[in-house]
Amino acid sequence: MTAHEPGEEQETTTGVRLERRYRRLLLSYPPGPRREELLDTLIEGAHAGGRRRPSVRQVANLLRCGLRARLGHPRSRGIVVLATLIALLAGVFGAAAVAPLGWRPAPALPGGAESDALKREVFPGLVAWGGGDAARWVPTGDGEGEQYGFADYWVWHTAETRDVAAYTTRVRDRLAAGGWTIRHDVELTGPEPDNVGPAWRSATFTATRDGLILRFDDTVVDKTAPWSTEGSAGFALSRAAPPVLWLLVAVAGLIAAVLAWLLTGWVARRVEGRRLLRAVIVVAVVAGLAVLLPAAAFAMLWASNSDHPPLAEEVLFLGLRLVLGWLGQPVLVAGCAVVLVAAIPGRSEWARPVRAATFGAAVLALLAAGSAGRLPDLLDGDRLPATAAAQPCVPVAPAGSGAVSEDRLSYVSRVFVRPDATPEQRNLIEAAIGRTPGIRSLTFSYDPTSQEYRDAYCHGAPLVAGSGGALPHFWQVDLSSPGVLPGLAAEVGAMPGVVAVRPA
């Protein structure tokens, strides 16, 4: 047995490590003898230069050239442009697909004693309404998009809060002393010179602390009638994006972009020498990119319509959610279709099991992508039991005027009124609902045969014939956040004609 000197063993170990590092880098190149040729050249050059590990420049060059070689067509720059755009689009959708996982660590918004403490911190000595938890995502006020879930808090005006500039400044200073970071300082606004409505004035600022975003607003409106609103002072509380979300989005986007690049290279090599197939795929990909890239950019910009979260979070995370919702299925179908076309075996390939299996898998993927848009309907439990909902039920009128909520995330409530309530009573109740902060919309229902009655009294089933005439009529009220319900009940629950205020 031949003994090795310690220096020789160390040199051998270093050479093995260097070879492993180069082999990992050369995985960026397509399989083939080229890898071994490059490996021999790289190791020989490293030994000659006394190098123990690849340099940063060498790593970057190998990755760049390897990914370029994956595309084939070494003399064509067009494939590089197409692959770059496809990778960019795939990175966006990869990040969008993983982003919901990053929101899971986000805690609930303050509730209970914590919410009460926040009310006292912002509005000491005043009775504050609202608060509680909220869904992570909610529709925007116009119903055309989505925004971060938030909880509304408010107080009715006093002589102190009507001085909007001074009161808002005191709230800002109080929060800053309590550890909040003031992100947007107090901003005063008022009506335009040509305003034809009631005069108003407002002051706002935004603060952050412990993963929460607080946007304060104090607005006073000159009352035009005894029942009209004079505004309120309040704030919306929402979550900030968890730090892990940034990491997940970045990693998922990068992985999706690399996979898209490799898949583009596979397709490019598959269609090489097949002119008709290549022309079909190039035209389809160019047309798809011409539509999808501007649409994705528009969705990202469309998300920047709220100033609750920071702009970077808003455009990135809300934009990713919109991109996935608007374009997820078209992108999935288009990608599967391209793979399907590229996977069509040539004349000499039909007998090869691997080629046939690839083609079959592409067909199944395309069919699955085409039906993906219907999966939410199939999984929607509220839509499945149609036969059970067809059985008529005997409705029961709600009792009591207090707000009772079994769902802490209910965004819809109903205000029930006696059928014999006078028109004046109904008008005053409607005005009181409308001036309550956090009310987005309301509709009045009085027809016992309507779907609204079925939903309110029988969970969607029809009412027994003749049983709805004496039931209370009701307003169905959309809330900006679930915690608005107790404040709504306090505002209208004791008014003449009101029977009850309940979550829907």
Instruction: Give me 348's structure tokens.
Output: 């000499």
Q: What is the CATH number of the domain that holds 451?
A: 3.30.70.3040
pLDDT (0 to 100) of residue 482: 92
Instruction: Give me 124's structure tokens.
Output: 């000491």
Distances (CA, A) of 290 to 89, 276, 297: 11, 21, 12
Does the residue 30 lie in any domain?
Answer: yes
Domain boundary among 223, 240, 257: 240
Domain membership of residue 128 as a residue range: 112-240
Does the residue 290 lie in any domain?
Answer: no
| 116 and 58 part of one domain | no
| 228 and 122 part of one domain | yes
Does the residue 128 lie in any domain?
Answer: yes
Angle between helices 275-302 and 319-342 (to 10 degrees): 170
Written as one string, the DSSP assignment of 196-219 is -S--EEEEEEEEEETTEEEEEEEE
Instruction: Give me 309's structure tokens.
Output: 């979260």
Cα angle for residues 472, 391, 394 (degrees, 5° grid): 30
| 64 and 149 part of one domain | no
| 60 and 121 part of one domain | no
Does the residue 27 lie in any domain?
Answer: yes
> Which amino acid is located at 9 in the chain?
E
Print the SS3 string covering 269-289. Answer: HHCCCCHHHHHHHHHHHHHHH
The Cα 401–Cα 16 span in angstroms is: 80
The Cα 484–Cα 131 span in angstroms is: 7
The Cα 184–Cα 159 span in angstroms is: 26
Domain boundary among 240, 273, 308: 240
Long-range Cβ contacts of 163-167 (<8 Å, 24+ apart): 164/188, 164/201, 164/202, 164/203, 164/218, 164/219, 164/220, 164/233, 165/203, 167/203, 167/218, 167/233
Instruction: Give me 76's structure tokens.
Output: 């064509």
Does the residue 206 lie in any domain?
Answer: yes
**From the CB of residue 440, how many other CB atoms can be counted at a distance below 10 Å?**
16
| 10 and 65 part of one domain | yes
**From the CB of residue 360, how many other CB atoms can be counted at a distance below 10 Å?**
12
Residue 265 near residue 71, CB atoms below 8 Å: yes
Domain boundary among 200, 217, 240: 240
Instruction: Give me 343's structure tokens.
Output: 């996977």
| 173 and 53 part of one domain | no
Instruction: Give me 205's structure tokens.
Output: 């600022």
pLDDT in tens, the chain (504 residues): 455 455 555 556 666 777 788 788 777 777 777 777 777 777 777 766 667 778 788 887 777 777 777 777 656 777 888 888 999 999 998 888 888 888 888 888 999 899 999 999 999 999 999 999 998 888 777 666 777 889 999 999 999 999 999 999 999 999 999 999 998 888 888 887 767 678 889 999 999 999 899 999 999 999 888 888 899 999 999 988 888 888 899 999 999 998 888 888 888 877 777 788 888 888 888 888 898 889 888 888 777 655 555 666 766 778 888 888 888 878 877 877 777 777 776 655 554 565 556 656 655 665 565 555 443 333 333 343 444 446 888 888 887 655 655 557 889 999 999 999 999 999 999 999 999 999 999 999 999 889 999 999 988 888 888 888 889 999 999 999 999 999 999 999 999 999 999 988
Structural domains counted in the chain: 3
The Cα 421–Cα 424 span in angstroms is: 8
| 228 and 128 part of one domain | yes
| 59 and 4 part of one domain | yes
Does the residue 87 lie in any domain?
Answer: no
Does the residue 468 lie in any domain?
Answer: yes
Residue 442 near residue 478, CB atoms below 8 Å: yes
Does the residue 495 lie in any domain?
Answer: yes
pLDDT (0 to 100) of residue 363: 58
The Cα 155–Cα 129 span in angstroms is: 6
Instruction: Give me 259's structure tokens.
Output: 């996979």
pTM of the model: 0.74
| 117 and 235 part of one domain | yes
| 414 and 476 part of one domain | yes
**From the CB of residue 449, how many other CB atoms can be counted at a distance below 10 Å?**
10
Through-space distance between the first and last CA atoms of the chain, rounded to whole angstroms: 86
| 419 and 486 part of one domain | yes
* Residue 16: its H or E element: helix 6-25
